[in-house]
Structure 1
Amino acid sequence: MRMVFRWYGEGNDTVTLRQIKQIPGVEGIVWALHDVPAGEEWPMDKIAAYKELADTYGLHLEVVESVNVHEDIKLGLPTRERYIDNYKKTIEKLASVGVKVVCYNFMPVFDWVRTDMHKELADGSTALFLEKAKIEAMDPRELVRAIAGNPDFTMPGWEPERLARLSELFDAYREVTEDDLRDNLRYFLEQIIPTAERCGIRMAIHPDDPPYSVFGLPRVVKHAADLRAILGFADSTANGITLCSGSLGVRQGNDIPAMAREFAGRIPFAHLRNVRVYENGDFIETSHRAEDGTVDMCGIVQALHETGFGGYARPDHGRHIWEEQCRPGYGLYDRALGIMYLWGIWDSLGRGKQTKREAFSV
């Protein structure tokens, strides 16, 4: 398991590369060009600037999250060809600086949905929360105002240029079924995977968050059957999945350790986080500790270990603790604690095996 840490860039993140470097076992950053609109080709000078920054601190940038997929691709419009071509060119540029994995998603309109960015837990910490009944009754524009209205931090998946077209996008998806969306994903992968293969990059689709329809929009990455179908769209190790325990974990019946075993070899990237799911469908993100949530964190890490997982992993979201002021879900402290918890599980599974690891380098 190769531990990485999501970073939003200089001037756009409260966490510094110097701090990330000090978290035991973290070897690289998970990054993206958040100021480039979905569908546009990423400029080489901006990519090179990230590479230079990462190199300065001895961190790699082998994982990108995300190269956003333009809505015209998801909708299957004729204009998708231009955006697919831009996507291919971006993949080629990323390969030139050593990128190995591109995480992406195929969620219509919204990349992820929560109703409260700072729901208080019993211990006084706060975390991302979804109230299911509220979502079912809410006008999506109200949610946009709540999430995208944060003046301090950009929120991935809630880009202003996309949300400015909210009514237009909902109209466009009105007649789009899950089968339609699935066909459009298949087409995208058929076009992209040969380029990814040639460049030595593995595409890793992220599950829907949450893994069920929201605001009537279709969702096609919800459970094992969906993942099985997607991997069949292009029979190549370049066509992989991001195993996200937090997203998949809020859907009843999703056996994530079983998925880790079934899809071993096709998981280049894992998001490891815990959530507590309530009987009414609400859920809140918790510490990574297994007993704090309803996700079998120990079982997931054990499954990855037993199948020889050598891909990248990150602690994904964390709570907001110790009065830290940060981007919702993306502070330093709780994610660093999560990393040490994950390493604790991983290392305990490896006891008795011959390993060579330098704890520190001077």
Structure 2
Amino acid sequence: MKMVFRWFGEGNDFIPLEHIKQIPGVEGIVWALHDIPAGEVWPMEKINEVKQQAERLGFNIDVVESVNIHEDIKLGLPTRETYIDNYIKTIENLAQAGIKVICYNFMPVFDWVRTDLFKELEDGSTALFYENSKIANIEPTDLVNTISRNYDFTMPGWEPERLDYLSDLFDQYKDVTEEDLWDNLHYFLNRIIPVAEKNGIKMAIHPDDPPFSVFGLPRIITNKQNIRRLLNLIDSPYNGLTLCSGSLGASEDNNIVEMIQEFSDRIPFAHIRNVKRFENGDFIETSHRITDGSINIYGVMKALYDSNFNGYVRPDHGRHIWDEKCRPGYGLYDRALGIMYLWGIWDSLVRTRKETNHYAVNQ
């Protein structure tokens, strides 16, 4: 297991790399060029700038999250050819910098949806919260105005360039079915996976967050059956999955452990976090500790360990604790606590195996 940490870049993140360096066991940063609009080619000079910043402190930049996909590709418009060509060029540029994994998603309009970025928990910390009834009774533009435009930093998936024509996007998607979206994803993968194979980069799709339809938009990377379908579209180790316990875990129908057991050889990257589900469909993000949420974090880590997982893992969204000023879900403190919780589980599994093997040898 290779532990990494998401970082939004100098001038775009509250957390300096020097602080990340002090978290035990972190080998690399998970990064992106957040100032490059979806559909444009990532230039080598900007890629190398991040590489130099990371390597100065001994970090790798093996994992990119995300190279966003232009909506015209998801919609299957004729203009998608230009944007796919640009995506291919970005893959080739990233390969020159030694990138090993590209995390991406195929969610229409919104990469993720929450109704409250700082919902208070019982212990006084705050966290990202999804209120089911509010989604049912609010217009998408009102949600955007409530959340996105009241925050100083651009949030991935809520970039201003896509939000400025939100109504037009919803009009374009009104007749797009899930099968249409599957067809458009298949077309995209047919173009890029051969390029990814040639350049030694594993494409790892992120599950939909949350894993069900929001605002009537189609969602397809939502459960085990659909993940199996995705991986079978192109049967290649370079067509993979970003296993996100929090996104998939927002639905009680998803068994994360079973997914890892079935798809382990196609998971190059994993996001591990906990969420607490409520019977009315609400959910809130919690600490990584098993008893604080609804996800069996120990079971998730054990399934990865038992599959001899050697990919990349990062702690996903954390709470906002100790009055930290930070991006929603991306503070330093709780994610650092999460890393140590994950390492504690992993180290105990390693030690148990060693002791078991030692006992067996000496019998």
Quickly name the TM-score band, shorter chain normalised: over 0.9
1:1-362 correspondence to structure 2 within 5 Å: 1-353=1-353
1:254 aligned partner, one-letter code? N
In 2: Cα distance, 1:150 partner to 1:336 partner: 27
In 1: Cα distance, 2:104 partner to 2:149 partner: 24
TM-score, normalisation: structure 2: 0.97
Question: Could you tell me whether the CA contact under 8 Å between 2:193 and 2:239 is conserved in 1?
Answer: yes
Once the two structures are TM-superposed, the CA of residue 354 in structure 1 deviates from its matched residue by: 5.5
Q: Match of 1:319, SS? A: coil
In 2: Cα distance, 1:311 partner to 1:301 partner: 12
Deviations 1:102-127 (A, max 9, x none): 00000000000000000000000000
In 1: Cα distance, 2:107 partner to 2:38 partner: 13
Once the two structures are TM-superposed, the CA of residue 336 in structure 1 deviates from its matched residue by: 0.1
TM-score, normalisation: structure 1: 0.97
Once the two structures are TM-superposed, the CA of residue 146 in structure 1 deviates from its matched residue by: 2.0
Q: Match of 1:144, SS? A: helix
Number of equivalenced pairs? 355
Once the two structures are TM-superposed, the CA of residue 150 in structure 1 deviates from its matched residue by: 3.2
In 2: Cα distance, 1:296 partner to 1:69 partner: 32
Once the two structures are TM-superposed, the CA of residue 151 in structure 1 deviates from its matched residue by: 3.9
In 2: Cα distance, 1:352 partner to 1:236 partner: 33
In 1: Cα distance, 2:310 partner to 2:133 partner: 40
Question: Could you tell me whether the CA contact under 8 Å between 2:154 and 2:160 is conserved in 1?
Answer: no
Once the two structures are TM-superposed, the CA of residue 154 in structure 1 deviates from its matched residue by: 1.3
1:251 aligned partner, one-letter code? S
Once the two structures are TM-superposed, the CA of residue 352 in structure 1 deviates from its matched residue by: 4.7
Q: Quick check: which one's helix share is greater? A: 2
In 1: Cα distance, 2:196 partner to 2:21 partner: 29
Number of the residue aligned with 1:360: none
In 1: Cα distance, 2:43 partner to 2:310 partner: 30
In 2: Cα distance, 1:174 partner to 1:348 partner: 50
Unaligned runs of 5+ in 1: 356-362
1:278 aligned partner, one-letter code? F
In 2: Cα distance, 1:353 partner to 1:292 partner: 27
Once the two structures are TM-superposed, the CA of residue 152 in structure 1 deviates from its matched residue by: 2.0
Question: Could you tell me whether the CA contact under 8 Å between 2:290 and 2:298 is conserved in 1?
Answer: yes
Once the two structures are TM-superposed, the CA of residue 353 in structure 1 deviates from its matched residue by: 4.6
In 1: Cα distance, 2:91 partner to 2:150 partner: 31
In 2: Cα distance, 1:151 partner to 1:276 partner: 25
2:50 aligned partner, one-letter code? Y
Once the two structures are TM-superposed, the CA of residue 58 in structure 1 deviates from its matched residue by: 0.4
Once the two structures are TM-superposed, the CA of residue 43 in structure 1 deviates from its matched residue by: 1.2
Unaligned runs of 5+ in 2: 356-363
Once the two structures are TM-superposed, the CA of residue 148 in structure 1 deviates from its matched residue by: 1.7
The structure 1 segments of at least 4 consecutive aligned residues displaced by more than 2 Å after TM superposition are: 352-355
Q: Match of 1:346, SS? A: helix
Question: Could you tell me whether the CA contact under 8 Å between 2:2 and 2:311 is conserved in 1?
Answer: yes
Once the two structures are TM-superposed, the CA of residue 147 in structure 1 deviates from its matched residue by: 2.3
Structure 1 window deviating more from structure 2 (37-46 vs 143-152): it is: 143-152
